[in-house]
Amino acid sequence: MKSENDMYTALIHGGIYGDELTGSVNVPIYQTSTYQQERLGHHKGYEYSRTGNPTRAALEALIAELEGGAAGYAFASGMAAVSAVLSLFETGDKILISSNVYGGTFRVLDKVFNQFGIAYSIEDTTDLEALESRVTPEVKAIWVESPANPLMTITDLRGVSRIARKKGIYTIVDNTFMTPYLQRPIQLGADIVVHSATKYLGGHSDLVAGLVVVSSEELSERIAFIQNSTGGVLGPFDSFLLIRGIKTLGVRMDRHVENANLAAEFLKKHKAVKKVYYPGLEESQGYEINRKQAKNGGAMISFELKENYNIETFFSSLRLIALAESLGGVESLICHPASMTHASIPEDIRRKVGITQGLIRLSIGIEGIGSILNDLEQAISKSEEK
Ligand SMILES: Cc1ncc(COP(=O)(O)O)c(C=O)c1O
């Protein structure tokens, strides 16, 4: 495990730092599709930018170092990264997924990979005994998010990895909500880590990107082949922006988490609030497990207002906090999972896993906490039905 000191340094100097050719402290944006070869069969390590690009390579080396993996790969979106990982599987294989998995991951499995004979089943990954009994011979991987979106459900990543190792299958962790600054799944036993880097890693809501980190050379070769074959790579400019975003990940996350703890306490004590879901609260599901596998509870909070508060009035009364998809940017965002991020999950499944109409998800930004709480307070008070 990296010490906090090493992690702060790696965020800024990790991977391929600067540029040997010119001394530029920042990795240049190599905006090129191709590379002149010296003579037949002799080049400087790059032939064509789908296969490899120096700016992307610097980002890929950086995320591999931060996650403690064998290699990293950068994609044009989180979903392109998810799809590349799912392309490891073949007809007849089955993947077990956490019940609160991101809606897009469910959709690509259900509507795209299912067409190619790759099956999935939705499991309660918090119950390790039940999960182990579900690993039948056709199961080739367990796909988890912890915390899982939007109820912030915590899964024991060491426990899942132990089961997967015993059964000879992969553990895949979507680490978008935590980032390697707060949680490093490969160190806990996972084989593959996936990110929507659009979120905290980018950090400024100004790019869409995805990352994959693998734990072994064998997986590295397979993902490199899939990346080059299917071609959903991240461009040089967005690779540069992502490297730039990652430099401040540590200081941003510290501030996000400080604000999130204060917001969770505020919501917990508020008379209008029925329930708060935040892994940083002692009474929350999986609190002890999260404490052992992550630095803290992160900065995503979900909550439900009591029945006598009108949720539509609440959303339309917010002035500072933007009603928007996505999360992890410096600005606070709010969303309604049932009609937004998780709309692609059928209603009966949504109900079964607890994604109610009244559920609200908050991505706490790094603004002054007073402004965030004032905005929540005035919108809650306007939404009360007398
Ligand atoms: C946990 C998680 N995984 C994957 C994705 C997909 O990423 P992208 O939107 O960058 O394609 C998202 C997007 O919201 C997400 O929240």
- Secondary structure of 265-295 as H, E, C letters: HHHHHCCCEEEEECCCCCCCCCHHHHHHHCC
Q: Any residues with CB less than 8 A from the CB of 283 and at least 6 apart, and which?
A: none
Q: From the CB of 149, is ligand 1 less than 6 Å away?
A: yes
Tens of pLDDT along the chain (386 residues) come to: 578 889 999 999 999 999 989 999 999 999 999 999 999 999 999 999 999 999 999 999 999 999 999 999 999 999 999 999 999 999 999 999 998 889 899 999 999 999 999 999 999 999 999 999 999 999 999 999 999 988 999 999 999 999 999 999 999 999 999 999 999 999 999 999 999 999 999 999 999 999 999 999 999 999 999 999 999 999 999 999 999 999 999 999 999 999 999 999 999 999 999 999 999 999 999 999 999 999 999 999 999 999 999 999 999 999 999 999 999 999 999 999 888 878 877 888 888 878 888 899 999 999 999 999 999 999 999 999 98
Closest residue to atom 8 of ligand 1, CA basis: 78
Q: From the CB of 276, is ligand 1 less than 6 Å away?
A: no
Q: From the CB of 174, is ligand 1 less than 6 Å away?
A: yes
CA of 104 to the centre of ligand 1 (A): 7
Tokens of 279: 């892994």
Q: Which of 179, 198, 325 maximizes ligand 1 atoms within 8 Å of its Cβ, making it the mutation to test the pocket?
A: 198
CA of 289 to the centre of ligand 1 (A): 24
Residues 355, 176: Cα–Cα separation, whole Å: 20
Whether 234 and 74 have beta carbons less than 8 Å apart is answered as yes
Residues 16, 307: Cα–Cα separation, whole Å: 53
- Give SS3 for 230: helix
pLDDT at 357 (0 to 100): 86
Whether 384 and 377 have beta carbons less than 8 Å apart is answered as no
Q: From the CB of 182, is ligand 1 less than 6 Å away?
A: no
Residues 379, 83: Cα–Cα separation, whole Å: 39
Q: From the CB of 176, is ligand 1 less than 6 Å away?
A: yes
Residues 187, 68: Cα–Cα separation, whole Å: 7
The alpha carbon of 231 is separated from its chain's Cα centroid by a whole number of angstroms, namely 21
Whether 118 and 95 have beta carbons less than 8 Å apart is answered as yes
Ligand 1 atom at minimal distance to the Cα of residue 101: 1
Ligand 1 atom at minimal distance to the Cα of residue 176: 1
pLDDT at 343 (0 to 100): 83
pLDDT at 1 (0 to 100): 59
Q: Which of 151, 199, 362 maximizes ligand 1 atoms within 8 Å of its Cβ, making it the mutation to test the pocket?
A: 199
- DSSP for 39-86, please give it: BTTB-SS-SBTTT--HHHHHHHHHHHHHHT-SEEEEESSHHHHHHHHH
Q: From the CB of 173, is ligand 1 less than 6 Å away?
A: no
CA of 383 to the centre of ligand 1 (A): 30
| Closest to 67 (Cα-Cα) out of 142, 159, 148, 179 | 179
Residues 129, 285: Cα–Cα separation, whole Å: 17
Residues 328, 177: Cα–Cα separation, whole Å: 8
Hey, which residues are catalytic here? Answer: 50, 102, 174, 199
Q: Which of 109, 176, 241 maximizes ligand 1 atoms within 8 Å of its Cβ, making it the mutation to test the pocket?
A: 176
| Closest to 55 (Cα-Cα) out of 87, 16, 94 | 16
- The pLDDT mean for the chain works out to 96
Q: From the CB of 210, is ligand 1 less than 6 Å away?
A: yes
Place of tokens 């099956």: 119
Q: From the CB of 102, is ligand 1 less than 6 Å away?
A: yes
Residue-wise pLDDT for 75-93, tens only, equals: 999 999 999 999 999 999 9
Phi, psi of 75 (to 5 degrees): -125, 165
Closest residue to atom 12 of ligand 1, CA basis: 196
CA of 107 to the centre of ligand 1 (A): 12
Rg of the chain in Å (alpha carbons): 21
Q: Which of 75, 77, 79 maximizes ligand 1 atoms within 8 Å of its Cβ, making it the mutation to test the pocket?
A: 79
Other residues' Cβ atoms within 10 Å of the Cβ of residue 319 = 10
Which strand (E) or helix (H) includes residue 158?
helix 157-167
